[in-house]
Amino acid sequence: MKLQINSEKRGESHLGGVHPSLLREEAKAHADSVFIGEVERRFERVLKDFEAGRLQPFYGDHEWGDLKEMPLPRRELLGKRYSPIFKAIETTRGCPNRCDFCSVPTINGRHYRIRPLGEVDQELSCIIKKKGEYLSLPMTMLWPGKTMP
């Protein structure tokens, strides 16, 4: 994910996601700041640092909290032209396994965390609105605690 906050004013760029979290120094060569791991609990600090002109080179968080009261994605900001057939929703994070090919335990922790059902239901009611729309669920939700072959 590449985030540009008020980039016309300051010309700064910020990277986050799986690749920047795993290869932070490489990502830093292409951005002013790099978000490592999960961003929800520290994004307010990032914005305050940005507004004060004191952005840190790295923002990291490897203390994985529960998923209660996660902010809902602002899908309406994507515009009318963005309308994927498969809608994605995040219901869990983390995995206790260490499958060779998977970044989930490194990025989201080895503890399996589940969002409260009421919050998942609230988000579902916001995104599945028309016939012919489908929901995409990540593999870690379907096989918690099982190592993939």
Separation of alpha carbons 20 and 35, rounded Å: 7
Average pLDDT across each block of 10 residues of the chain; the chain has 149 residues. List them in order. Answer: 49 86 92 87 86 90 79 77 72 82 81 88 79 65 51
What 129-132 contacts at long range (C-beta under 8 Å, 24+ apart), as own/partner pairs, is 132/85
Separation of alpha carbons 14 and 127, rounded Å: 28
Report the pLDDT value the prediction gives residue 137, as an integer from 0 to 100.
Answer: 66
Separation of alpha carbons 68 and 137, rounded Å: 18
- Say if residues 87 and 124 touch (Cβ distance below 8 Å): no
Report the pLDDT value the prediction gives residue 108, as an integer from 0 to 100.
Answer: 81
Residue-wise DSSP of 88-101: E---EE--S---TT
Separation of alpha carbons 76 and 125, rounded Å: 14
CA angle 74, 76, 82 (to 5 degrees): 115
For tokens 């840190």, name the residue. 56
Report the pLDDT value the prediction gives residue 107, as an integer from 0 to 100.
Answer: 80
Distances (CA, A) of 111 to 97, 103, 107, 114, 127: 9, 14, 11, 10, 28
Return the H-helix or E-strand segment holding 18.
helix 18-22
